[in-house]
Every structure is written in C-alpha cells, then in structure tokens.
Structure 1
Amino acid sequence: MFWKKKKLTYELQQSLHLNTPLQDMSFTVFDTETTGFAIGADDRMIEIGAVQVEGFHVTDRVFQTFVNPSREIPTAIKKLTNIQQAQVDEAPLPLPAIEKYFTFIEKNKSGGWVGHHVSFDEMVIKKELSRQKCTFETPTSFDTMHLIRFLDPASEQQDLEDYARIFGTEIFERHRALGDALTTAHVFTELLKKLDRQGIKTLADLLRIKNGGAHKFVSHT
C-alpha cells in the first residue's frame, strides 16, 4: 500500500537579506543523541538539545527533550551518555519530540541551524520523520567543522572538546544533546568573531564559505 508522506513544516526567518550582518542574526545550535551510528537501520534518536545564538553571543534560551526510541538503549550508550532506559521510556515519541524542537526554532525566529558535523544530526531527524511518513525541508545550516577548516585548511579533525580547549571556551556535559549543543554554540561564536576579523561579516559571506565560494541562497525580500 502506498502511503503519501506528510510534509512537516516550520518557519525559519525568511526575510533575511543577503547583506544581513552576522551580528544581527539568530542561529539555533543543536545536537542529537542516538542509540548508535546506524541511523539508517536500527538505531534511533534518544535526545534532542538546542540553544539559541544571537549574533556573537550564546543566549540562555535552550531546548531539551528525551525521545522514546521504542527499543533498548545499548549498555555502551548508557555508559557514554548516562541516559537511562527509564528516562526515554517516559519521553515523547520521535514525531512529537521533533515538533517541539521545530516550535522552539520558530519561536526564536532562527535564521539557520548550526551543529558540529551537522549533517549527521540533520540525517537523524530526517530518518525519524521518514519512519513516520513525514518529510521536511532541509534548512539553511552551518557546520562548525567546515568553518574551522576554512580558517585553518591544515587543521586535523579533532573532537568537539578539543576545539573548545583551543578556543578557550567552556565545555559542558559531554555526549548529552544540550551539553554538546552549548559547547558547540560557544565554539561557533568564537568562530564568528574570527571570521569577522577576516572580513566575513554578512550572511552572504557565510553562505559563500558553506558553498565553497559561491552561494546559492535565494533571498526572500
């Protein structure tokens, strides 16, 4: 039987001009935790965390929810994350959890998503929605690793915690969605400051970096 997929919609801040200064932009920095890395197979999301960044500052506006994966959390993941089965068994299922996250994005008039290896976390959400016969429009997003490589092409891939130490920013609870989102947010704001000093000052500039020198962003003006 064919099931038509429902499109799950949410509103990013669509009125941004390409020349919007980065200092005037709002970003949602987010992270997910899962039962493992086989997200296209049996592994499922167990937590979403996010924090809002305004310009070059991390705000106190945060979001966190556990997610019921409808399966057992492997022992190794319990030890790594300190997330216990009882916490997710009582949590929302993936679709309502993601809807709550999208509500947080809309409420904060976010202009884009940010993550450390952001494509993985986007794929986690995409896969969970696909299981519920839902789709969503991939947002404008920025990866801290991509920005780090732009600033230092010779940079070797390191753990998020290593970059926090390099930039002298606070390290929050590791391998927890909100903690890693907060750590990423502080690294991201330091990256924005460094980019600003190198003349990367607008949304258009940031999109050129994201797209390897040529932006494909369509301004909704």
Structure 2
Amino acid sequence: MREIVFDTETTGLSFAGGDRMVEIGCVELVNRVETGRTFHAYYHPERDMPAEAERVHGLSATFLAKHPVFAAAVADLLDFIGDAPLIAHNAGFDFSFLNGELERCGQPLVCMSRMVDTLQIARSRHPGAKHTLDALCNRYGIDRSHRVLHGALLDAQLLAQVYVELTGGRQIGLGLVSDAPRVVVVETVAPVVTKVRPLRVFSPSPAELAAHAAFVKGVKDPLWGPGASG
C-alpha cells in the first residue's frame, strides 16, 4: 500500500485568517517502508512573514520571494501525492492549509477520508504521555539531533519513522505478500537409517537368586510374599 507522510510550514495558524502555506515536504511509503522518493517545495506566500513564524522555521519573506506561488507549482505536488492516504501530525492543521491552497487556485480538495493523524494514534497508544514529534522521537529512539528549526521535509522524514513505530514497528515491512513471482525452495535430505540393536536378556545367576531368597527370608513383617501379614 502506498502512503504519503507530509508536513507543512506556514505564515501562521489560520488559513481562514489570512495565513498561507510556504513549504511542504512529503515522504513516500510503500507497505510502511520508505522508498527514498520525496517531494519538497517552497512557495511565495504573497504576503509578509510574521516574525514569530520566522523564528519557528527560519523562512524569511526575502527567501520565499524567489520561489513560485502555490498555484504555479501545484501540479507537481498533486502528481506526487496521487490518491494515496496522507499522514500528518495534528493532520487537521496541515489539511486545512493544503485544502485552503487548493481551493484558492481552483483545484479539487483532498478528501478528508484520506487523512491519517499520527497525533490521534499517539494519544491512543500512549495516553497521558507527551505527543509532540520531539517526544515521540525520544520515545522510539529516533535521532533528531539535526533538527534545529522546523523544516517540512525533515519533519516529514522523522514523522515517517514515528508512524512506522506507532503502527507496529519496522517488522511490519516484512510482508508475506509480494508482486514478485514466488520461488519455493525444496530441500532434499537423505533418509536417516536407524540401526536397531537386538534385545538383550539379562538373567540372574543361581548365586544371585540364592542371595535374594536369603535376604527376603530375613525381612520381618513383609508386605508381600510368603509370610506377609496382608
């Protein structure tokens, strides 16, 4: 199954309030295994960049001015995501910006049935714990030492590893079903020949029988045999 893990960076918290998406990063998974295919793009927001948002992701208005507006580059993004499920952390936020940008440029919206929210999965798996991306990376031993600022592609790559752990761990990629032809290996083992020894009979000697009879005769109050009180 093909899935896309993605993350966005924005000018703020509300598309309806005038904020815009400025970066998106996507990671392709097939059967919960990263394929190495990614998608990454910056977009000119056609507005200013609030200082508090720039402190989070480090993207300035000057830097973004050199990149295309979303409408001019949307085709590449849509081609990459296709019709795959889309996985994000606090996915409602990312979907609101993705669909907001799509609607703004007259493109069909991404159906909400395709949304997979790792935040909800984490809350279900680990109730009462911290569920930030950083906290989940720490829980699962995922190296995030190179994450200084938020970045859409880097965060999507980290989230892809978290998602695999949340949904069963890396062994889930060892699928039993494959499109490749099945190869059955039959091992031929030589038959094992077992030699059976003839039965050996051990009989007591006359001397051993006499010694045993003398011993039994000397037993007081026997429980069985001649003289038993039964």
Q: TM-score, normalised by structure 1?
A: 0.69
What's the CA shift for 1:182?
Answer: 0.8
CA gap of 1:129–1:111, structure 2 versus 1, over 3 A, is closer
Deviations 1:44-91 (A, max 9, x none): 111011111122322321111101100111122222211122321121
Q: Residue 217 of structure 2 corresponds to which residue in structure 1?
A: none
2:139 aligns with one of 147, 154, 166: 166
Report the AA paired with residue 185 of structure 1: A
Aligned CA-pair RMSD? 2.3
Q: Residue 175 of structure 1 corresponds to which residue in structure 2?
A: 150
Identical-pair percentage: 27
Instruction: Indicate if the aligned counterparts of 1:32 and 1:47 stay in contact, CA closer than 8 A.
Output: yes
CA gap of 1:38–1:55, structure 2 versus 1, over 3 A, is same
SS at match of 1:76: helix
Report the AA paired with residue 65 of structure 1: A
Alignment of 1:9-20 (within 5 A): none
Choose between structure 1 and 2 for higher RCO, CA contacts under 8 A separated by at least 6 residues. Answer: 1
Instruction: Indicate if the aligned counterparts of 2:137 and 2:162 stay in contact, CA closer than 8 A.
Output: yes
Q: Residue 187 of structure 1 corresponds to which residue in structure 2?
A: 162
Alignment of 1:44-193 (within 5 A): 44-106=20-82, 111-138=84-111, 140-152=114-126, 154-171=127-144, 173=147, 174-193=149-168
SS at match of 1:181: helix
Distance 2:170 2:114 in 1: 19
Q: Which runs of 4+ in 1 moved over 6 A?
A: none
What's the CA shift for 1:162?
Answer: 0.9
Q: Residue 202 of structure 1 corresponds to which residue in structure 2?
A: none
Question: Runs of 5+ in structure 2 lacking a partner?
Answer: 173-230
Report the AA paired with residue 140 of structure 1: R
Question: Runs of 5+ in structure 1 lacking a partner?
Answer: 1-24, 198-221
Distance 1:59 1:169 in 2: 18
Bigger Cα Rg: 2
1:39 aligns with one of 1, 15, 26: 15
Instruction: Indicate if the aligned counterparts of 1:56 and 1:190 stay in contact, CA closer than 8 A.
Output: no
